[in-house]
Amino acid sequence: MRTLCLRGTMVSACLLLGACFWRESPQPDRAPSSDDVDYASVAIAWLSPAAPGDELDSLAGWTAPDGAQWLIASDKHGDRLRVFDGETGTPLRTFGGPGARPGEFRYPNGIVAIDTLLLVVERDNHRVQVLRLPDLLPLATFGENDLRSPYGIAVMPLAAGEYEVLVTDSYMTGLGFDITPPLSQLDARVKRFRMEVDGPYVGVRLQQVFGDTTAAGALRKVESIMVDAFNQRILIAEEDRSAGTALRAYTLGGAYSGRDVGFGTLRSQAEGIALWACADGSGYWIATDQFPDRSVFQVFDRRALTRVGAFASKQVANTDGIWLRQDASPAFPGGVLFAVHDDKAVAAFDWRVIARKLRLRASCDTQ
C-alpha cells in the first residue's frame, strides 16, 4: 500500500508510515491499467451506433422548446458537429464541415450549450464560434487574437444575456509545437472572456488570463474545465502524467487553491468533468480516467473534494468528453450521464443506476 504524505507533514511521520511520496512526485512510467483501480460495474442504458470515420470528443446537451433532448458532439476528424437524440442515442443530423467561414470548423473540440446558445472551441481556427439553437445559425466568433491552441470551455451565466466564458489554452513550444513550455510561461493557460448577447448581437472582450507557475499548481497539458460558482471553484483537468494527472482546483478569481482532486486516484489521464449539483452546494464531481480498455469514472464529494467511489462499464472505453443532465426526462427520470466511447459513439448511464451501485443520492431531495 502506498501512503500519500501531504505537503507540510513532518518527515518523521512519513518515516513511521513508510512508502510515502510527495505531491510533486511524478507518476510511474509504466502504462496504467484499469485493473489497478477499484470500481463498481454499471450497465449502460444505450450505446449510439458507431461511426468509424468520426473522432468524437466533447459533449453538450440541450432541451428544445418542444421538450426534445439533444445531445451534441464535436467531431474533430470531420470538422463538424453531430446531433443525437438524448433519449435513445439515435443520430439526428450533422452540421458544419472544414473551413474558417461561419458554420465551418477546424478541429472542433470543447462545446457547451446555455440558454439558446451553442459555443464551440476550434483548436486550429484559434477561436470560439457562437451558434444559435435550434437552427445552429452562426452568430459570431471570438478569441482569434488571444487563443493559441484552445481546447476546453466552460460558461457561467451572470445576468440576462451576460456570460463569463473560460477557455483552456494548451499552447506548446518547440519546432514541432509538442514541448510543454517552462513553468514561467504557463501563466496564460486559461482565458476569461465576458460575453454579452442581445438578439443577433454578440459582444465579447477578454478580461483575464491566468495560470499558476509553480510546480504544484501549473497546468501543463489542459483541456476540460468546469465551474462551481456556489463553492467558488474552477476544476481544470491536468492530463500530464509525468506531473501527476488530476483535477487542479482554482478559485473563481483564477488562483491555484493548493488543492488537487484525484491526485494518485486518477491513474491514466484526467479527461471529461461533470458536476451533479444541488442548490445547497452539495453534490458530486465526476472525473473521467481515460483508460484505453475501459473508462473509469471517479466520483468525488462536491464540497470536500474527497473520493466517494468509482464506476465503469466494459462497453465504454477511451472516453474524452462527458456531460450530465440532472433534469428528468421520460427515458431518464433521475437524470443521465453521457460519455463518448472510443471516439466513435456515445453511451448513456442512468443516474439512478449509478446512485444505487455507489450508494449516492438519487436526487437532491434524498440523503
What ranges do the domains of the chain cover?
38-358
Q: Quick one: pLDDT at residue 29?
A: 55
- C-alpha cell of 31? 502504462
User: What integer pLDDT is reported at residue 53 of this predicted model?
Assistant: 86
DSSP codes, 260-303: EESBTTB-S-EEEEEEEE-TTS-EEEEEEE--SS--EEEEEETT
pLDDT, residue 32, reads 79
Q: Which three cell numbers stand for residue 300?
A: 468525488
Q: What is the mean pLDDT of residues 136-161?
A: 98
Is the pLDDT at 9 greater than 60, yes or no? Answer: no
Per-residue confidence (pLDDT) for residue 323, from 0 to 100: 98
* Cis ω for the linkage preceding 102 (within 30 of 0): no
Residue 250 clears pLDDT 50, i.e. is over it: yes
What's this model's pTM, rounded to 2 decimal places?
0.91
Average pLDDT over residues 248-257: 98
Higher local confidence (pLDDT), 77 or 19: 77
Contact in structure between 303 and 40 (CB atoms under 8 Å): no
Output the pLDDT for position 51.
85
Residues 85-93, mean pLDDT to the nearest whole number? 98
pLDDT at 359 over 50: yes
CA torsion, ordered 223, 229, 230, 234, to nearest 10 deg: 30
User: For position 21, what pLDDT does the model report?
Assistant: 30
The predicted-structure confidence for 23-65, as pLDDT tens digits, reads as follows 444 444 567 788 888 999 999 999 999 988 899 999 999 999 9
Q: How many CA atoms are closer than 13 Å to the CA of 338, on its beta-carbon side? A: 28
Q: Is the dihedral of CA 80, 81, 82, 83 positive or negative?
A: negative
pLDDT band, residue 5 (cuts 50/70/90): very low
Alpha helices (H) in 30-138, listed in sequence order: none
Please report the pLDDT score of residue 30 as a whole number. Answer: 62
Domain 38-358, CATH among 2.40.50.140, 3.40.50.10800, 2.120.10.30, 3.40.440.10 = 2.120.10.30
- pLDDT of residue 141 exceeding 70: yes
pLDDT (mean) for 230-254: 97
Per-residue pLDDT band at 355 (split at 50, 70, 90): very high
DSSP character string of 215-244: TTTB-SSEEEEEEETTTTEEEEEE--TTT-
In this prediction, residue 33 carries a pLDDT of 81
Q: Are 88 and 110 in contact (CB under 8 A)?
A: no
pLDDT of 257 over the 50 cut: yes
- The mean predicted confidence, pLDDT, of the chain is 92
234 burial level (CB within 10 Å; 0-12, 13-18, 19+): buried
- If one counts every other C-beta atom within 10 angstroms of the C-beta of residue 314, the result is 11
> In the structure, what pLDDT confidence band is assigned to residue 131 with cuts at 50, 70 and 90?
very high
Classify residue 36 by its DSSP letter: G
Q: What is the DSSP string of 332-364?
A: -TT-EEEEEETTTEEEEEEHHHHHHHHT--SST
- Residue 55 to residues 80, 97, 137, 321: CA-CA distances in angstroms? 10, 14, 23, 11
Stretch 329-356: mean pLDDT: 98
For 281-338, write each residue's pLDDT tens digit.
999 999 999 999 999 999 999 999 999 999 999 999 999 999 999 999 999 999 999 9
On the question of pLDDT at 89 being above 70, the answer is yes
Cell digits for 259?
488543492
